[in-house]
């Protein structure tokens, strides 16, 4: 087997990781998935995703924490991956304020362990998930990777920004090809229960009230998971190259940062109205103040992604929400169809 056909994916039982692994398998790739099945999330959902992947003969799975260097080394020695996509992390802004050790362990210690193993095994391309949350208080709109991002407003955002800086240093020192992707509010089938589409849908179907933070004056660049997966697929074999020094100039690391967003931000209340229309039910809402760590607006400039790959996220929010609801209603056993 050619090693370029094999991809190691961390967070394989997670939302993006699962959807990405399925696409890789459909394309005939061999996939080595790693996931700790951390309890900070819906473990049943993770196990259901994993059960689907395990049906494929080209998928192998390692159930362990990335902090475990010995287990990591054994996986790399056995499979010798040349493509590593790191999607495992503790996610979410709010939990990070109360679970500091957990976030530092998963998002910093494990990240460094994986980077170091990739370096020692001379991986051909390391891709990792960053987040739009890194923009914090610094960025202009639309948000560009060239903007300074030195004022994160949550511990989660700080860990993701630290990932970017650490990854660049590894890329520079060891000439490790690295691509960091700042994902913007990813949603879609098999999505996380703690994200707005799931929270709002659950409330509408259950007849409970939806908390609307900052009294609805929040704008998000919702990005469909299928578009995120397509971006990953197109970048997988496009490792950045180092720029050789000329004259007194220092060499540039084989490193890049890209936004992955729809570039069409919408107000949170518009999302609620869309869910109401598709579900055929009225939502009850109550206004809440702004939450610490939340951004007022996310709006990506993903032009560099398009320049490199010829692809830009293109799924409209309405189409993406319909696909999400089709999955949600089926998975949770609702008889009602979308739009009923």
- Please confirm whether the linkage preceding 142 is cis (ω < 30° from 0): yes
Best CA proximity match to 295, nearest among 222, 223, 224, 220? 220
Biggest alpha carbon–alpha carbon distance for the chain: 69
Query: Which of 103, 128, 156, 187 is flagged as catalytic?
Result: 156
Q: At what angle do helices 69-79 and 110-120 cross, to 10 degrees?
A: 30
Whole-number CA gyration radius for the chain: 20
Residue indicated by tokens 């197109």: 234
Tell me if residue 156 is catalytic.
yes
Residues 6+ positions from 258 with CB-CB distance below 8 Å: 145, 179, 180, 181, 182, 231, 235, 302, 304, 305, 308
CB 69 within 8 A of CB 109: no
248-280: burial string, b at 16+ Cβ within 10 Å, e else? eeeeebbbbbbbbbbbebbebeebbebbeebbe
Residues 6+ positions from 254 with CB-CB distance below 8 Å: 171, 175, 176, 177, 178, 239, 240, 241, 242
Separation CA 245–CA 248 (nearest Å): 7
For the beta carbon of residue 58, count every other beta carbon within 10 angstroms.
15
Q: Which residues are catalytic?
A: 156
């Amino acid at each position: 087997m050619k090693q370029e056909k094999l991809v190691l994916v961390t967070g394989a039982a997670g939302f993006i990781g699962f959807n990405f692994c399925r696409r890789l398998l459909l394309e005939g790739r061999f996939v080595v998935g790693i996931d700790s099945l951390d309890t900070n999330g819906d473990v049943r959902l993770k196990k259901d995703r994993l059960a689907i992947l395990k049906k494929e003969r080209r998928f192998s799975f390692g159930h362990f924490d990335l902090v475990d260097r010995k287990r990591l080394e054994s996986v790399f020695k056995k499979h010798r991956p040349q493509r590593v996509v790191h999607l495992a992390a503790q996610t979410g802004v709010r939990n990070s304020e109360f679970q500091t050790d957990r976030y530092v362990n998963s998002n910093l210690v494990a990240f460094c362990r994986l980077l170091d193993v990739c370096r020692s095994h001379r991986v051909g391309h390391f891709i990792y998930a960053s987040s739009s949350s890194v923009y914090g208080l610094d960025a202009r709109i639309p948000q560009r990777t060239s903007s300074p991002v030195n004022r994160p407003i949550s511990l989660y955002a700080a860990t993701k920004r630290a990932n970017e800086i650490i990854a660049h240093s590894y890329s520079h020192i060891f000439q490790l090809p690295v691509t960091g992707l700042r994902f913007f509010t990813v949603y879609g089938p098999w999505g996380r229960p703690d994200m707005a589409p799931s929270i709002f849908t659950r409330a509408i179907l259950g007849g409970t009230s939806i908390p609307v933070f900052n009294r609805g004056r929040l704008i998000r660049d919702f990005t469909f998971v299928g578009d995120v997966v397509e971006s990953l697929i197109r970048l997988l074999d496009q490792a950045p190259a180092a720029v050789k020094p000329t004259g007194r100039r220092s060499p540039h690391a084989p490193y890049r940062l890209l936004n992955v967003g729809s570039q069409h931000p919408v107000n949170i209340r518009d999302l609620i109205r869309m869910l109401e229309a598709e579900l055929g039910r009225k939502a009850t809402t109550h206004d809440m103040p702004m939450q610490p760590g939340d951004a007022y607006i996310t709006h990506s400039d993903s032009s560099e992604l398009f320049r490199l790959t010829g692809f830009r996220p293109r799924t409209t929010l309405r189409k993406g929400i319909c696909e999400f609801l089709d999955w949600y209603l089926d998975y949770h056993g609702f008889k009602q169809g979308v739009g009923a």
